Amino acid sequence: MRLIEHDPGSPEGVEELLNAPFAVASHNTQDDPVFNYANNAALKLFGMERDEILGLPSRFSAEPAVHEERANLLDRVSKHGYVDDYSGVRIAKSGLRFFINNAVVWNVLDEQGNYHGQAVLIRDWAPV
């Protein structure tokens, strides 16, 4: 699946993904993974500035009541490489809840196949 038209490593590709109409975010490989990327749509969706989300444990994107569900999702992604059918409720900084539908979550790998974390593509969301 290709998210953007330009080469993602090019200045045009970086700009295109940053300003895409869909939300993309990723977290790293720490035991308690932290966000290491969020495009502008993801920042708006979660109601945060870039300096607030980067370094924030990604578990804070979900309410504690659904942390087990989220852990199961991430485990499923780890085992299968990706899922393209994730739906669930997430929470913005303001406390506003929103439902994401059919999000794609995948393992982030470099060209040598080394694992660097996981990313999410959210195209469909609505306030709860």
Q: Is residue 35 part of a domain?
A: yes
Q: What is the dihedral of CA 62, 109, 30, 94, to 10 degrees?
A: -30
Q: Is residue 84 part of a domain?
A: yes
Which pLDDT does position 3 carry in this prediction? Answer: 87
Give me the domain span that covers residue 95: 11-127
pLDDT over 90, % of the chain: 83
Average pLDDT across the chain, whole number? 94
Which pLDDT does position 30 carry in this prediction? Answer: 96
Separation CA 33–CA 4 (nearest Å) = 25
Q: Is residue 6 part of a domain?
A: no
Q: Is residue 1 part of a domain?
A: no
Decide if pLDDT at 1 tops 80.
Answer: no
Assign residue 120 the CATH number of its domain: 3.30.450.20
Q: How many domains does the chain have?
A: 1
Q: Is residue 102 part of a domain?
A: yes
Q: Is residue 31 part of a domain?
A: yes
Q: Is residue 89 part of a domain?
A: yes
pLDDT in tens, 56-109: 999 999 988 888 888 888 889 999 999 999 999 999 999 999 999 999 999 999
Q: Is residue 3 part of a domain?
A: no
**N residues, the chain:** 128
pLDDT category at 47 given cuts 50, 70, 90 is very high
Q: Which of the pair, 64 or 55, is modelled with greater confidence?
A: 55
Which pLDDT does position 70 carry in this prediction? Answer: 85
Separation CA 89–CA 67 (nearest Å) = 11
Q: Residues 29-38: contacts with CB within 8 Å, 24+ apart?
A: 29/115, 29/116, 29/117, 32/57, 32/59, 33/57, 33/58, 33/59, 33/117, 33/118, 34/58, 36/117, 37/119
- The token duo for 79 is 């085992």
